[in-house]
Amino acid sequence: MLKTSLSLTALFVSSAVFADAPNAEQQAKDMERIIVTGSRVEERLDEVTASVVIVDQQALLRNMEVTNELQSILAIQVPGMGPNTGTNSSSGQNLRGRSALVLIDGLPQSTPLRNGRLAIRSLDPSVIERVEVIKGATSIYGNGAAGGIINYITKNADSKDGFNGKLNLATNFSATDFDDSLGKRADVTLDGRNDKLSFVANVAYEDNGIIKDADGDALGLLYGMSGFESKNAFTKIGYDLTGQSALSLTYNYFEGQQETDYISINKTVNDGEKSYAEKNTSGIKAPGDPQGPRGNHNLKLQYEHAEIFTDTLFTGDVYWQKLENVFFYSTKFRDPELGLAGGQSMIESEKTGIRANFNTTVDFDNTAASFTYGIDLLNDVTAQTMVDGRDWTPEMDMDNAALYLQSKFVINDDWVVKAGLRHEEIDVSVNDFQTLMVCRKTCSDVVNVAGGDIEYSATTYNLGLRYNAFDTFMPFVSYSEGFDVTDLGRTLRTASAPSINKIDTDASIIKNYEIGFDGYYGIFNYQFATFISKSNIGTSLVEDAATGKYESVRSPQEIYGFEAALEAKPSDTLTLGVNYSWLEGKNTDTDEYLNGSTINPPKFAAYADVTITNDWHASLTMMHVGSRDRFEKVGDVYTGTNGPVSSYNVVNLSTSYQISQDFKVYGGVENLLNNDYYPARSQSYTGSGYNVKGKGATVNLGINYLF
């Protein structure tokens, strides 16, 4: 079986493949048996009519030999996803030019009402069994999935009775300047099963040390990973009630704080100098609290019944999620009247929900049909406040009820037809509020705004067709819609009207059109897809240069692009591959290009994976990020996220050796060639402190012990 991230059904084999199958033809046949749950039910990949990538356990482990940053792993593994930003923020790292809804076992981590773009790093990677990425607008999980879904599937206990354990110890350090760069990591996973009872438990701790660039200078601290100290606790308990029903309880806690005695020296793209950090020798504490998630709680109780009534699987769950994410300190939040020289915002969000999902199968002559249907109920209370107690956005209390139906027909084993719909009813309650004064060259006006209720009602549709008769050419076409309440908090916090009923708070309907194919011939397999994504209301942001406010673009937008991949396995011990993704976008009313907060530059990847001996494995990956220069200077400077992006390359190397059945050592080097570069976001974002260079050569060493 191919043990890697993949997308046989839609478009792409990932950019770091680790395969055991003897040839591409056998790989493709094996891939047909792999199942995904992104559509809320298990199904074969060759019956999916959307673009899907599965990053499995082996692919995760191979990538973690180089880095534990999920943003970096997904940037390499997932075509259509932007390059890593080098920070703990995914702002500027989009999925096909739009925001993705991040889930843990189907539970939403993103905060669409005030999108802080911090959800990708919401748990430790040692907890993850696999990652499922569904690309393109989708209504499967509702609001916030304009670009698709990233679903972290957590680990389960072994299927056999007994007890298992795994200990991982690792360290990382800069190869350009060792001073203060030593990081450390430890994670322990236990699982066991005894008759009907099973459990999994994990604890993880990581301290990154000070991250250095190719010159040996400490990276700037804005959204930074230097000194980032994270802790994760996870448990899942399952009980088989009968032969057909089971109950499970899952809890995950994650926190990560940037704890460092370094201080940022902030520059801008227009200064022509990099932002960096230096050791604080003044003895004066830098203002503000540590950046990062103070705590992310996820709790889910789930009941499953294989046949709650004739030929019908039922899955029901109740869940709770709460988080608090702290942003960086900025003087733009100063208020002399209150004696405040600056301030620091944080997003607070609490979600509770109930979901009931049914899947009924029906067999007709030459046709296998299935119908997935159910109801989602969600309450989401979100606000962006200041650490000092001021409010930046009002509290938004959203009640969301949705009904959905998804049908699938497999005709004569070759034709796959899908059609579905989802109906949303959303009510957002907002109390009276006052906008926050934000200052840069000038200060914004404070506006008193009368609150009220904002109501949304929408029905979205999807339709897909796939033909599997020929192994060398298996085409598909799909149309899907998504419903997106476009960062309502950002719209409200920049209000200039006296009442919310005078503010444009309309939601976006995103329409995604896609056509592609995949196939295999001899030692080769290949994928291609092209897409167009249209929204009636914009989902990108523009900056007011005077006040520093970022405001939502409300004009219609169109994003389009393509992705392609070719993989070859010339022998049992060698896998080679290349892939490429490109996208572009415009505001259709003005025919203006979309900025760097929305559109990522082209991305090319190549990989080689070799089994040197039965116990010794090595992998080499290269990612090339292309250039994008669409905007002119305003006066003598670039503004907002309109900075030009120059191309760069990053090469990673990893290797592992299995000393015994229970003991393995591994090592990796991120940015092996010590390339001196700015990540794409650092080039396009012109704000102070954003132009931080990428990591220099960084070594990661570790051991795994099974017991």
pLDDT at 16: 32
CATH code where residue 71 lies = 2.40.170.20
Supply φ then ψ for residue 81, to 5 degrees.
-100, 140
The least confident of 4-8, 215-219, 597-601 is: 4-8
CB distance 86 to 671 below 8 Å: no
Dist. CA 351–CA 357, nearest whole Å: 19
Higher pLDDT, 259 or 200: 200
Confidence of residue 30 (pLDDT cuts 50, 70, 90): very low
Does the pLDDT of residue 357 top 60, yes or no?
Answer: yes
Asked if the structure places residue 74 within a domain, the reply is yes
Q: How much is the average pLDDT of 678-683?
A: 96
pLDDT at 576: 94
pLDDT at 489: 92
CA-nearest of 328, 420, 407 to 360 is 407
What residues have CB less than 8 Å from 414, skipping those under 6 apart? 467, 468, 469
- Indicate the SS3 state at residue 162: strand
What would the pLDDT profile of 124-172 be if each residue is shown by its tens digit? 999 999 999 988 887 777 778 888 999 999 999 988 899 999 999 999 9
Q: How much is the average pLDDT of 283-301?
A: 92
Q: How much is the average pLDDT of 262-287?
A: 93
Confidence of residue 117 (pLDDT cuts 50, 70, 90): confident
What would the pLDDT profile of 373-423 be if each residue is shown by its tens digit? 999 999 999 999 999 999 999 999 999 999 999 999 999 999 999 999 999
Higher pLDDT, 655 or 547: 655
The least confident of 14-18, 469-473, 481-485, 501-505 is: 14-18
**CB burial class (10 A; 0-12, 13-18, 19+) of residue 44?**
middle
pLDDT at 214: 98
Asked if the structure places residue 331 within a domain, the reply is yes
Q: Which secondary-structure segment (H or E) carries 488?
A: helix 488-493
pLDDT at 19: 32
Confidence of residue 24 (pLDDT cuts 50, 70, 90): very low
**CB burial class (10 A; 0-12, 13-18, 19+) of residue 602?**
middle
Cβ atoms < 10 Å from Cβ of 281: 8
The least confident of 188-197, 282-291, 459-468, 573-582 is: 282-291
Dist. CA 261–CA 256, nearest whole Å: 16
Does the pLDDT of residue 14 top 50, yes or no?
Answer: no
Asked if the structure places residue 4 within a domain, the reply is no
- Indicate the SS3 state at residue 60: helix
Asked if the structure places residue 13 within a domain, the reply is no
CA distances from 15 to 52, 269, 392, 627 (A): 14, 30, 41, 20
Q: Which secondary-structure segment (H or E) carries 591?
A: none
Question: Which residues are 427's β-sheet partners?
Answer: 399, 455
Does the pLDDT of residue 56 top 60, yes or no?
Answer: yes
pTM for the predicted model, two decimal places = 0.91
- Indicate the SS3 state at residue 34: coil
What would the pLDDT profile of 627-654 be if each residue is shown by its tens digit? 999 999 999 999 999 999 999 999 999 9
CB distance 69 to 665 below 8 Å: no
- Indicate the SS3 state at residue 85: coil
Dist. CA 97–CA 596, nearest whole Å: 9
Higher pLDDT, 22 or 198: 198
Higher pLDDT, 660 or 51: 660
Does the pLDDT of residue 22 top 60, yes or no?
Answer: no
- Indicate the SS3 state at residue 683: helix
Asked if the structure places residue 544 within a domain, the reply is yes
Asked if the structure places residue 83 within a domain, the reply is yes
Dist. CA 704–CA 168, nearest whole Å: 5
Q: How many domains does the chain have?
A: 1
CB distance 587 to 599 below 8 Å: no
pLDDT at 648: 98
Average pLDDT of the chain is 90
Confidence of residue 37 (pLDDT cuts 50, 70, 90): low
User: What residues make up the domain containing 512?
Assistant: 24-706
Q: How much is the average pLDDT of 327-332?
A: 92
Question: Which residues are 314's β-sheet partners?
Answer: 305, 358
Asked if the structure places residue 7 within a domain, the reply is no
Asked if the structure places residue 8 within a domain, the reply is no
Does the pLDDT of residue 369 top 80, yes or no?
Answer: yes
What would the pLDDT profile of 525-546 be if each residue is shown by its tens digit? 998 999 999 998 876 556 555 5
Q: How much is the average pLDDT of 581-604?
A: 95
Query: 335-367: b or e for each residue (b if 16 or more CB lie within 10 Å)?
Result: beeeeeeebbbbbbbbbebebebbbbeeeeeee
Q: How much is the average pLDDT of 30-43?
A: 65
pLDDT at 611: 96
pLDDT at 546: 52
Dist. CA 31–CA 27, nearest whole Å: 6
pLDDT at 51: 84
Amino acid at 543: E
Q: Are strands 452-467 and 100-104 parallel, antiparallel or unpaired?
A: unpaired
Task: Please state, for a pLDDT cut of 90, what percent of the chain lies above it.
Answer: 74
Q: How much is the average pLDDT of 479-489?
A: 88
Dist. CA 654–CA 622, nearest whole Å: 12
Q: What value, to the nearest 5°, has the Cα angle with vertex 681 and ends 83 and 327?
A: 105
CB distance 628 to 601 below 8 Å: yes
Q: Are strands 148-154 and 100-104 parallel, antiparallel or unpaired?
A: parallel
Q: Please give the structure tokens belonging to residue 559.
A: 């994003």
- DSSP 8-state assignment for residue 537: S
Dist. CA 170–CA 509, nearest whole Å: 45
Question: Which residues are 236's β-sheet partners?
Answer: 200, 250
CA distances from 592 to 487, 582, 584, 585, 586 (A): 22, 18, 11, 9, 5
